[in-house]
Structure 1
Amino acid sequence: MRILVTGGAGFIASNIVDALIDEGHEVSVLDNLSTGKRANIHPNAPFYLTDITERSVQMVFEQCRPEIVIHHAAQIDVQTSLHNPLLDAKVNIIGTINLLEQCKSFGVKKIIYASSAAVYGHPNYLGVDEKHALQPISFYGISKHTPEHYIQAYGELFGLDYTILRYSNVYGIRQDPRGEGGVISIFLNRLLHEETPIIYGNGENTRDFIYVKDIVSANIAALIYGSHSLYNISCNQQISLNNLLKQMNAIIGSNVTPQYVPARQGDILHSRLDNQKALKQLQWLPQYSIEKGLTETYHYYKACL
């Protein structure tokens, strides 16, 4: 299939591109390189340096004529969304609408959209399933949720097929530990540089971490399954930040203790996404335990030093 991957120079989407090409698909990458890296782009993927909010997106569709669009390009920094909500909305909402217009004009068969657990806000129960109330606590959560409605409307109005994937906390190879990098990449980066990891709060808050290769396999499954539906993509397991650091110490062979600082306002205490719907309907199953994923990620970062 001809597939266009937006944000294909970034952490998650570049891994998806690699897997799609390995499976024999014809893949193009669209990215503005604001956070993505040229080094992440597969050499066999035509690359279009443009922004999803720009008119030039039409030219990309004209040239690569995608059958499927996998949409990961986004403003992903929660703090940026709070300080600059106009930018956040422009990229995540207007940018997605721009892509949807091109999907309509060029007869794209399906769009696969990377959404986020941030759409749920503070959970009313664990595990959070797809029927949970949507009550985002940041502008980022709002700007990731709003495109879901547009995608569903384009599906109803214009026959565009879609699968929406709401990710839990993703980690793994190519994740940038700087800025809004995930806690695992930040911890590993500090440990490898013999710096003290910082934990906000008492470290007993929990997260549902999922390895990037399991995210990749979910996207590949969505090429075939999940028509006109949305799914949580998670491991459906919780681990505290204290236990997470303990496992990292065991893998690395270190005994580093963290620095505890006051909890940040708005941080969610506990998070776990129920993934049963994806397991049943996407024919998908996560393959990486936290130990296996951490070990592979550690060796990746160590090799990059």
Structure 2
Amino acid sequence: MKVLVTGGAGFIGSHVSDEFLRAGHEVIALDNLSSGRKENLDPRVRLAVLDIRSPEAAALIRSEQPQVICHLAAQMDVRRSVEDPRFDADANILGMLNLLEAARSSGVKKFIFSSTGGAIYGEQDVFPAPESHPTRPVSPYGVSKASGELYLGYYRAQYGLPYVALRYANVYGPRQNPHGEAGVVAIFAQRLVAGRECTIYGDGGQSRDFVFGPDVARANLLAFEKDYVGSVNIGTGIETDINRLYTLLAEGAGSNIKAQHAPGKPGEQRRSCIDASLAKKVLGWEPSVGLADGLKKTVEYFRKQAREPARALG
């Protein structure tokens, strides 16, 4: 099978590319390299340096005719979405529509969408939240991801395009680019390894469900292999607050530097945790790497990056 991975040179996208390669598929990565890196890619992956909003990206789909599209390219910074909701909608809604319009006429057999479980539910009524929980996003980022799922439902009903919307918890791990809220683990890990101070916004009591990047990539492959159509949570069902996260990372980095606190940011949820039992039932997926081990692997990645300044992330 030929697989197109948008955002394929990025943190999660490159792990997704690796998963499909290992399964014997041909992989094309479409990435504008705004945050992705060529070095993340296996040499066997073909890289098309394009923006998902461009006519050229649509033309690539029509010419290559991939059987599967894994759509990970996105504006993924919650805080930036609050500051500039038009930019968020342009990338996350119009960019996705550009791909869907090309996909529906190009023989695509399945569209796998990287949605969000961390932002789509808003302030939760229950913890962890199942897929049936009301979607009440409190940021434009969450709104744009919810819109993406609604458009997928339309393209399924109107054109018969099968899809899976993977609602990720807070993804972390090796290759993560330390910018934006979604990169809190990467931000802390990079700064701690470098002996620099870290800032926690708010009191640090806000909690998240942290899931390891390669585990998330495996969910994409399973979403392709299974017949399930619809939305499914990909997380651990375990809450960890930011203060605890910082402590674990500081211990892993061998750092005694205390975190500084700054005022909280608008649009940030207090708690977020998702129930992934449906993923086990319909995809055969469950997390395989616990938080302590995953953070250890992440710190080691950033330590290695620090020893290779020519390749270090900015």
Secondary structure of the equivalent of 1:16?
Answer: helix
Give yes or no for the alignment of 1:12 onto 2:12.
yes
Once the two structures are superposed, the pairs formed by residues 1-305 of structure 1 within 5 Å of their partners are 1-117=1-117, 118-225=119-226, 227-305=228-306
Distance 1:183 1:304, change over 3 A: same
Alpha-carbon distance in structure 2 between the residues aligned to 1:178 and 1:156: 37
Cα distance, 1:79 vs. partner? 2.7
Instruction: Tell me, yes or no, if the aligned pair for 1:155 and 1:228 is still in contact at 8 Å.
Output: no
What corresponds to 2:312 in structure 1? Answer: none
Distance 1:200 1:179, change over 3 A: closer
Secondary structure of the equivalent of 2:215?
Answer: helix
Distance 1:35 1:134, change over 3 A: same
User: What residue ranges of structure 2 are gaps of 5+ in the alignment?
Assistant: 307-314
Alpha-carbon distance in structure 1 between the residues aligned to 2:13 and 2:113: 11
Alpha-carbon distance in structure 1 between the residues aligned to 2:147 and 2:18: 29
Relative to the length of structure 2, the TM-score reads 0.93
Alpha-carbon distance in structure 1 between the residues aligned to 2:102 and 2:26: 19
Deviations 1:29-65 (A, max 9, x none): 1111122122223211121121111111232123322
Moved more, 245-254 or 294-303: 245-254
Runs ≥4 residues deviating over 4 A:
none
RMSD: 1.4
Relative to the length of structure 1, the TM-score reads 0.96
User: What residue ranges of structure 1 are gaps of 5+ in the alignment?
Assistant: none
Moved more, 132-141 or 55-64: 55-64
Instruction: Tell me, yes or no, if the aligned pair for 1:9 and 1:36 is still in contact at 8 Å.
Output: yes
Moved more, 142-151 or 33-42: 33-42
Instruction: Tell me, yes or no, if the aligned pair for 2:62 and 2:102 is still in contact at 8 Å.
Output: no
Alpha-carbon distance in structure 2 between the residues aligned to 1:43 and 1:150: 34
Instruction: Tell me, yes or no, if the aligned pair for 1:152 and 1:228 is still in contact at 8 Å.
Output: no
Distance 1:191 1:167, change over 3 A: same
Secondary structure of the equivalent of 2:261?
Answer: strand
Instruction: Tell me, yes or no, if the aligned pair for 2:62 and 2:103 is still in contact at 8 Å.
Output: no
Instruction: Tell me, yes or no, if the aligned pair for 1:196 and 1:257 is still in contact at 8 Å.
Output: yes
Alpha-carbon distance in structure 1 between the residues aligned to 2:70 and 2:52: 13
Cα distance, 1:109 vs. partner? 0.5
Alpha-carbon distance in structure 1 between the residues aligned to 2:44 and 2:202: 45
Cα distance, 1:266 vs. partner? 3.1
Task: Kindly provide the amino acid, as one letter, of the partner of residue 216 in structure 1.
Answer: A
Instruction: Tell me, yes or no, if the aligned pair for 2:170 and 2:211 is still in contact at 8 Å.
Output: yes
Task: Kindly provide the amino acid, as one letter, of the partner of residue 156 in structure 1.
Answer: A
Cα distance, 1:225 vs. partner? 1.9
